[in-house]
C-alpha cells in the first residue's frame, strides 16, 4: 500500500479522496472545480458584493413587512452561522434565530449561542429533540453501518428551520454555508443526501422497534412544498459579503465573548467524535482535508500550515479524545467492545436501504430544466 499518497500541489486533497484526478502540474480536480464554480463569489470586487448584498437585504425587508420577523437564521454555535446572525442584525434585518438541540451540544456551543442572542437582542427558538427517540435513531444508523450519521441532525435542523419560516410567513432563511470556507465539493460517498427522509425512516424501521414519533424529518416533497408553495429561499448570505474566517473569529471573540473550537463543526461533542474519530477510523475519511483544502484554495490559509495541521491528531489533544470517547460510550449506553465491534464492521452504502435520492435527482433535473427554459441561470 502506498503510505504516502500523492497530494495536490495547490490544495491538500490527496489520492485517497474518491474521484480525484490530477493534471500534469499535480493540481487536483477538486480545487480546480471549486475555483471555477465559485468564481462568482471569489473573484467579485468588494463594491459588486456590497451592491448585491444591499439589493438582497432590501428584498428581505420588503418581503418581511408587517411580519414579526423578516428572516430565519439557523444557528449552530459555529463561526459561520454566528456571523450570519451578527450581520443580519447590523444590516437592519429582524431575524428569528433557530437552533436544533440534539443533546450533543458542547458547553461552548451553548455559551456562544446564549451570549450572541442576548447581546444582539434577537429571539431564539430552540427545538429540543426527544433524546430517547434520537438515540434510537442514532443506534439504528450505527447498526446499519452507513456513513452519514449526521444526516439525522442535518435533516432535522433543515426541517425545523423551514417549519419556523413557514410558521411566521418568512420567505428567507439565511444560512452560514459559504463558498469561501466550504465551497469545495463533498466527495461522493463522504456524506448522503440531507433530504432523504425515506432513508431515515427505512433504517429506523429496520433496526429499531420504535416508530418515529416526534423527529422533525424533511423529505424531497416537503422541500419542494416549502420552496414553491411557501416561497421560502435558503440563501448562503456569506457569499454576498467579504468573509475571512480568521478575521470574523476575532470579531466574535472581541465583541461577543465568543469561544472558539479547534476545528470546523466541533461545536457538538458527537460531531467532533464523529469527524475526529469515527470517520477516519471506520470509514477512512478525514473531512479536515476538505475544510482546510478549501481555505488553502481560497487563499485564507497557507498550504504549509494546512499540511502541518493535517499531520496532527484531528483532536485538540489525546486527552480530549479519550474524554469524548467515554462521553460517547456513556451517552449511547455502549461498552468498549460494542464500539470496537462497530468500528471493525464494513461500511454499508446508504442506498442499500430504501432511499429517495433518485426522486431528489429527478426533481432537481426538472427544476433546472424549467429554470433554463425560463431564461434563468
Closer to Zn ion by Cβ: residue 102 or 181:
181
CA distance readout (Å), 334 to 132, 143, 225, 269, 371: 15, 12, 40, 16, 49
Q: How far apart are CA 132 and CA 355, in angstroms?
A: 24
Pick 11 or 146: Cβ nearer Zn ion: 11
Least distance to Zn ion, CB of residue 306, Å: 11
Contact assessment for residue 183 and residue 34, using Cβ atoms and an 8 Å cutoff: yes
* CB 9, min distance to Zn ion, A: 8
Min dist CB 312 to Zn ion, Å, is 20
* 11, burial (CB in 10 Å: exposed 0-12, middle 13-18, buried 19+): buried
Pick 12 or 79: Cβ nearer Zn ion: 12
Residues that bind Zn ion (CB under 5 A): 8, 10-11, 13, 28, 31
Closer of 197 and 289 to Zn ion (Cβ):
289
Spatial contact of 57 and 92, defined as CB atoms under 8 Å apart: yes
What is the smallest separation between the CB atom of 32 and Zn ion, expressed in angstroms?
Answer: 7
* Cα–Cα distance measured from residue 377 to residue 375, given in angstroms and rounded to the nearest whole number: 7
The DSSP output letter for 45 is: -
Q: How far is the CB of 191 from Zn ion (least distance, A)?
A: 19
Which C-beta is closer to Zn ion: that of 293 or that of 314? 293
Nearest-approach distance from CB 14 to Zn ion, in angstroms: 9
Report the candidate in 176, 185, 184 with the shortest Cα–Cα distance to residue 298.
Answer: 184
> Among residues 28 and 151, whose Cβ is nearest to Zn ion?
28
Residues 6+ apart with CB under 8 A from 100: 74, 126, 127, 129, 153, 156, 157, 160
Amino acid at each position: 500500500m502506498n503510505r504516502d499518497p500523492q497530494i495536490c500541489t495547490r490544495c491538500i486533497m490527496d489520492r485517497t479522496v474518491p474521484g480525484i484526478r490530477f493534471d500534469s502540474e499535480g493540481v487536483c480536480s477538486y480545487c480546480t472545480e471549486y475555483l471555477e464554480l465559485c468564481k462568482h463569489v471569489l473573484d467579485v470586487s468588494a463594491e459588486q458584493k456590497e451592491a448585491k448584498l444591499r439589493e438582497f437585504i432590501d428584498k428581505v425587508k420588503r418581503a418581511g413587512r408587517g411580519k414579526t420577523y423578516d428572516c430565519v437564521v439557523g444557528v449552530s454555535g459555529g463561526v459561520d452561522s454566528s456571523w450570519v446572525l451578527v450581520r443580519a442584525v447590523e444590516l437592519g434585518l429582524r431575524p428569528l434565530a433557530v437552533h436544533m438541540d440534539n443533546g450533543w451540544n458542547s458547553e461552548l456551543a451553548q455559551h456562544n449561542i446564549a451570549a450572541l442572542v442576548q447581546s444582539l437582542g434577537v429571539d431564539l427558538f430552540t427545538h429540543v429533540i426527544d433524546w430517547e427517540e434520537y438515540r434510537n435513531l442514532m443506534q439504528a444508523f450505527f447498526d446499519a453501518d452507513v456513513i452519514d450519521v449526521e444526516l439525522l441532525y442535518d435533516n432535522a435542523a433543515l426541517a425545523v428551520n423551514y417549519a419556523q419560516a413557514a410558521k411566521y410567513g418568512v420567505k428567507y432563511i439565511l444560512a452560514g454555508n459559504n463558498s469561501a470556507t466550504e465551497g469545495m465539493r463533498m466527495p461522493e460517498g463522504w456524506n448522503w443526501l440531507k433530504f432523504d427522509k425515506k432513508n431515515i425512516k427505512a433504517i429506523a424501521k429496520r433496526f429499531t422497534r420504535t416508530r418515529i414519533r416526534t423527529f422533525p424529518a424533511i423529505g424531497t416533497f416537503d422541500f419542494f412544498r416549502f420552496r414553491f408553495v411557501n416561497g421560502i429561499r435558503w440563501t448562503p448570505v456569506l457569499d454576498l459579503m467579504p468573509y475571512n474566517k480568521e478575521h470574523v473569529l476575532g470579531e466574535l471573540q472581541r465583541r461577543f465573548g465568543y469561544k472558539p473550537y479547534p476545528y470546523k463543526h466541533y461545536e457538538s461533542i458527537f460531531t467532533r467524535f464523529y469527524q475526529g474519530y469515527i470517520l477516519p477510523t471506520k470509514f477512512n475519511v478525514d473531512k479536515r482535508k476538505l475544510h482546510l483544502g478549501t481555505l488553502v484554495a481560497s487563499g485564507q490559509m497557507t498550504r504549509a500550515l494546512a499540511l502541518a495541521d493535517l499531520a496532527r491528531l484531528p483532536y485538540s489533544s489525546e486527552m480530549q479524545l479519550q474524554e469524548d470517547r467515554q462521553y460517547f460510550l456513556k451517552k449511547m449506553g455502549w461498552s468498549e467492545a460494542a464500539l470496537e465491534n462497530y468500528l471493525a464492521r464494513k461500511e454499508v452504502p446508504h442506498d442499500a436501504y430504501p432511499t429517495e435520492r433518485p426522486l431528489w435527482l429527478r426533481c432537481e433535473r426538472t427544476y433546472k430544466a424549467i429554470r433554463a427554459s425560463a431564461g434563468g441561470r
